[in-house]
Structure 1
Amino acid sequence: MTAQATGPVAPVVLPSPSSEPTTLTRASAIIAGRVIRQFVRNRMMLIVTVAFPLLQLFMLLAAFGVLVRDTQDVDYVRRLAPLIVLTTAFSSILTTAIALWSDIRSGVFDRLRAMPLDMRAYVFGRIGGDFVRIMGVAVLVTLVAHTVGFRFSRGPLAVLGFFGIVALFGMMCSALAVAVALVAQHPGIIVRYVQMPTLVLTLMSSGYVPLEAFPHWIRPAVSVNPVSLAADALAGLSHRGALTAPVLGTAAWTLGVTAVCTAVATRRFAMLVKRG
């Protein structure tokens, strides 16, 4: 499934300059609000990041729930639900990158550049709005999964840790989306270099099936897959399982990917700001 920006681009309404320039925090909050409104009004974004993952949850539970329970004596929703929560963050890379690319090419970015505004507010607002969206969708999907048997059984601190891992994973996804949008020359490149890798990483993860179900030769790659590590961390925090290695692995992937993407995006963003 590909996501394309639909409908008119939502305007950015910033306060008129007065005796004091618009503060970075206030401008970032305004742009973050625009990002959230844009998401709520865009049916394609809602389908890709909310409806499609929930459809996956119900279809896979219906198809494999009884089989997994009978063969492995495991409630499949405990393994599947964490992966679906991550899928909502992973799928946001494509929609966010295309929305950001459209902003840059539609004139919104040039309009902001002409204002007495710290342009860092655009980046902070975009990332902040995406973070709120990712966490909101994660909470919604978790609540829906609760209706089909998903439960937290390790206490309130584990619940906070669960959503902390989602936040780390979402931070990595947001950094990837910004970097891809700033580098790509047209939306087709975004779709080509985002959709297939994210699909492969999701399918080749231990979120759908345990690591032991994969052939021996591919297990090393599956075990270090960022989706596998994050899914295992969420499964461990919600029910049972290893925690140290998955949590540290997720943190390492987040820091590494975010650092690389930040370096790329900073350089590209500086070029755009200076462009005449």
Structure 2
Amino acid sequence: MTATSTAPAPAPAPGLWAQSALIGGRTLKHFVRSPMMLLSTFGFPLLQLFMLLATFKIIVHDTLGESYVVRLAPLVILITSFSAIGSSAIAFWVDIRSGVFNRLRVMPVHALSMLLGRMLGDLVRILGIAVLVALIAQLPGFRFRQGVAAAAGFFVLVALFGLMCTSLAVVAALSAPYPPVIMRWVQMPTLALTMLSTGYMPREAFPSAIRPVIAANPVSTAVEALVGLSRGGPLLVPVLATVAWTVGVSALCAWVTARRFRGFVAG
């Protein structure tokens, strides 16, 4: 009598979040292996921080009586989140229209894992830059003076802002007919939101006629919330406004993405 051997059962496929983490790791590996991307992503925010400090810190301190780095460091962190929209959208645009996405569709891989993985990798990158800028900004005087919980809240808000930016990047990638259009869609709105915010100057420094617009700007609410969590100051209103902006825009982007992504999955 011969014993019959049974083939081992195949290992279960990783779940959606495990697959997303793997693709997010792929996104980060591509980023780390690109010297030019590393230089522009980490070098530009630090260059901007110290150039603006050298140019405006005396003027701001003399006219408004506060250290410029208190609001400039949070602004630079938010600008890097904005700058990730264009590069992330272009990379995702290429991925979903190339053989990479087609190969994944015929494998036991959840279609959403590519989308979530891209967002996860970019969010980790945004938070990494935020930590680096916050650490380097200690040199000219930036400090977390409100305790550990407030410092943790600082980076939670940065993560929410980053989630909003990665959500916008996905919508841009799914909607743009070709990559150059993405930069035209992204550059002017983000530049206007940044310039017309309380990151460069407090609201009182703007003409009174446009102060309501400045105060409602999502970059302004985020800057004020981050200033409150680091140096101290009003918290409830700017934090709630920032959460409302980021969650609201992210939810709208999720709805648009769900409608558009089905077409790519269906092929």
State the TM-score, normalizing by the size of structure 1: 0.90
Q: Deviations over 1:111-168 (max 9, x none)?
A: 1111111111112211111111111111011111112211111111110111111011
The structure 2 residue matched to 1:33, chosen from 25, 33, 51, is 25
Equivalent residue in structure 2 for 1:111, among 90, 103, 120: 103
CA 44–253 in structure 1, closer or farther in 2 if over 3 Å, else same: farther
Q: Which residue does 2:233 correspond to in 1?
A: 241
Shift of 1:44: 4.2
Change (3 A) 1:151 1:109: same
Following the alignment from structure 2 to structure 1, what is the Cα–Cα distance between the partners of residues 47 and 134?
A: 14
TM-superposition CA deviations, 1:44-67 (whole Å, max 9, x none): 433443221211110010011122
Of 145, 148, 153, the residue aligned with 1:153 is 145
Structure with higher Rg: it is 2
The match for 2:131 is 139
2:253 to 238, 261, 268: 261
Aligned counterpart in structure 2 of residue 21 of structure 1, from 3, 13, 27: 13
- 2:211 aligned residue (219, 223, 227): 219
1:57-111 per-residue CA deviation (whole Å, 9 max, x = no partner) reads 1001001112222222211111111111111111111111011011122321111
Report how far residue 22 of structure 1 moved: 3.4
Task: Write the letter of the residue equivalent to 2:96.
Answer: I
Aligned residues: 259
| CA distance in structure 1 between the aligned counterparts of 2:16 and 2:62, rounded to whole angstroms | 56
> Equivalents in 2 of 1:173, 1:112: separation in Å?
25
- Report % sequence identity: 55
Q: Which amino acid letter does the alignment assign opposite residue 227 of structure 1?
A: V
Aligned partner of 1:52 among 28, 44, 48:
44
**1:172 paired to 2:164:** yes
Aligned CA-pair RMSD: 1.4
Q: Indicate whether 1:76 and 2:76 are aligned.
A: no
Q: What is the CA–CA distance in structure 2 between the aligned matches of 1:19 and 1:246, rounded to whole Å?
A: 49
Q: Any stretches of 5+ residues in structure 1 without a counterpart?
A: 1-16
Greater shift in the superposed pair: 68-77 or 78-87: 68-77
Which residue in 2 is equivalent to 1:6?
Answer: none
- In the superposition, relative to structure 1, how do residues 46 and 140 fare at CA in structure 2: closer, same or farther (>3 Å)? same
Query: Partner letter of residue 187 of structure 1?
Result: P
Q: Contact (CA 8 Å) 1:49, 1:89: kept in 2 or not? A: no
Structure 1 residues 225 and 45, CA, compared in 2 at 3 Å: closer, same or farther?
A: farther
Structure 2: give runs of 5+ residues left out of the alignment.
1-8
